[in-house]
């Protein structure tokens, strides 16, 4: 798999974005060096998905700039921007009855053109993406006949086949069970290890803390904290983001933060079991 150029840093400067009557992202500054995993976290409606869509060139900012490797993506043509940034949205849609191999080939669309048809380089990229996601054996199967976890890995393969230095994932684990969610997050780490930058929106703060190099915490359209999880995830941040009290503990092994919410309503102690009735010829103790 192609390793991204180490100069392809993501730089977001004073970005504001929103919708009629609502400013969802307020003057955000963010710099992400190449080869890192960044998790954007925060409560519903905090602006994290709008920020991701702005970086993906899907939601035009009202002001500010987004650059990848020094190139302002909003000043580029769509095809050129697609060589720099790829996105896996929350609920991707595929053509009916498409096979896994057919889906992954869509990732090469930005590399096609009037004078450039399917090539050996495209075939290599597809094979590398299937291999990286463990979906090679699924290549001939229909996407709609796979499990949720398998489908998500296939969508990731399509994104990886695009071979962009910046990969954006919008809630990639939202519909997955724990085992499949871990697979996807481990894959994000392996993508970054190969030199690409991965920026993902996550709802699960503990998963973000364990798998991301950098946490970006948002509330009301602004970044309220950013940095390594061990430095920024604490009880005060949990209270700021979600309005709840919590204990933040160190996980065994890697020491990543584990958030244990405090119960708002104390649980009543379990009642002692009633003694068994004495049957004939049995004395009660």
Is residue 42 one of the residues assigned to a domain?
yes
Pure H helices in 85-217: 100-105, 120-132, 148-161, 178-193, 205-211
In our burial notation (b when 16+ CB lie closer than 10 A, e otherwise), range 159-179 reads bbbbbbbbbbbbbbbeebeee
Q: 260 and 158 in one domain?
A: no
Pairing of strands 71-72, 63-68: antiparallel
Q: Which residue has the higher pLDDT, 150 or 114?
A: 150
Which among 66, 39, 72, 28 is positioned nearest to 217, based on CA atoms?
39
Look up the CATH number of the domain holding residue 243: 3.40.50.300
Is residue 282 one of the residues assigned to a domain?
no
258: tokens are 């584990």
Residue ending a domain, choose from 102, 131, 163? 163
Is residue 244 one of the residues assigned to a domain?
yes
Residue ending a domain, choose from 163, 185, 220? 163
Confidence check: pLDDT of 7 > 80? no
Is residue 285 one of the residues assigned to a domain?
no
pLDDT value, residue 116? 67
pLDDT value, residue 149? 87
Residue ending a domain, choose from 163, 180, 205? 163
Which among 199, 248, 245, 271 is positioned nearest to 39, based on CA atoms?
199
Pure H helices in 30-110: 48-55, 78-81, 100-105
- Which single residue is written with the structure tokens 């060096």? 33
pTM listed for this prediction: 0.86
Q: 111 and 247 in one domain?
A: no
Q: 194 and 118 in one domain?
A: no
DSSP-based three-state secondary structure for 9: coil
Tell me phi and psi for residue 204, to 5 degrees: -85, 105
Q: 106 and 128 in one domain?
A: yes
Sign of CA dihedral 144, 180, 1, 37: positive
First to last CA, the chain: 72
Q: 168 and 78 in one domain?
A: yes
Pairing of strands 257-261, 246-250: antiparallel
- What lies within 8 Å, CB to CB, of 201 at 6+ separation is 39, 40, 41, 48, 49, 52, 169, 170, 171
Q: 223 and 116 in one domain?
A: no
Element of type H or E holding 257: strand 257-261
Is residue 283 one of the residues assigned to a domain?
no
Number of domains in the chain: 2
Q: 257 and 171 in one domain?
A: yes
Rounded-to-10 torsion of CA 82, 85, 86, 87: -120
DSSP state of 147: -
Is residue 278 one of the residues assigned to a domain?
no
Percent of the chain with pLDDT over 70: 88
Q: 233 and 182 in one domain?
A: yes
Q: 120 and 106 in one domain?
A: yes
Q: 129 and 2 in one domain?
A: no
Q: 258 and 177 in one domain?
A: yes
Q: What is the mean pLDDT of the chain?
A: 88
Is residue 272 one of the residues assigned to a domain?
no
Query: For 39-73, how does the pLDDT look when each residue is reduced to its tens digit (9 = 90+)?
Result: 999 999 999 999 999 999 999 999 999 999 899 99
Query: For 118-175, how does the pLDDT look when each residue is reduced to its tens digit (9 = 90+)?
Result: 788 889 999 999 999 999 999 999 999 998 889 999 999 999 999 999 999 999 998 7
Q: 233 and 189 in one domain?
A: yes
Domain of 200, in residue numbers: 1-84+164-264
Is residue 279 one of the residues assigned to a domain?
no
Confidence check: pLDDT of 88 > 60? yes
């Amino acid at each position: 798999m192609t390793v991204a150029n180490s100069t392809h840093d993501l730089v977001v400067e004073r970005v504001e974005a929103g919708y009629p009557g609502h400013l969802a992202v307020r003057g955000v500054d963010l710099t992400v060096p190449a080869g890192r995993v960044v998790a954007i976290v925060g409560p519903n409606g905090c602006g994290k998905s709008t920020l991701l869509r702005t970086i993906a060139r899907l939601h035009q900012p009202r002001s500010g700039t987004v650059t990848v490797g020094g190139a302002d993506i909003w000043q580029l043509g769509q095809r050129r921007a697609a060589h720099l940034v790829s996105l896996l949205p929350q609920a991707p849609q595929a053509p009916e009855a498409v096979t896994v191999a057919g889906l992954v080939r869509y990732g090469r669309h930005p590399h096609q053109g009037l004078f450039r048809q399917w090539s050996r380089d495209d075939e290599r990229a597809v094979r590398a993406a299937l291999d990286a996601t463990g979906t090679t054996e699924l290549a001939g199967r229909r996407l709609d006949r796979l499990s949720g976890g398998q489908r998500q890995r296939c969508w990731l393969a399509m994104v990886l086949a695009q071979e962009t230095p910046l990969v954006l994932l919008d809630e990639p684990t939202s519909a997955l069970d724990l085992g499949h969610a871990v697979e996807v997050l481990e894959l994000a780490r392996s993508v970054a290890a190969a030199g690409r930058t991965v920026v993902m929106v996550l709802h699960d703060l503990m998963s973000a803390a364990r798998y991301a190099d950098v946490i970006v915490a948002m509330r009301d359209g602004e970044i309220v904290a950013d940095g390594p999880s061990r430095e920024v995830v604490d009880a005060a941040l949990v209270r700021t983001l979600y309005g709840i009290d919590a204990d933040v503990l160190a996980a065994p092994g890697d020491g990543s933060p584990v958030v244990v919410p405090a119960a708002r309503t104390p649980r009543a102690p379990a009642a002692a079991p009633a003694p068994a009735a004495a049957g004939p010829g049995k004395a009660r103790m």
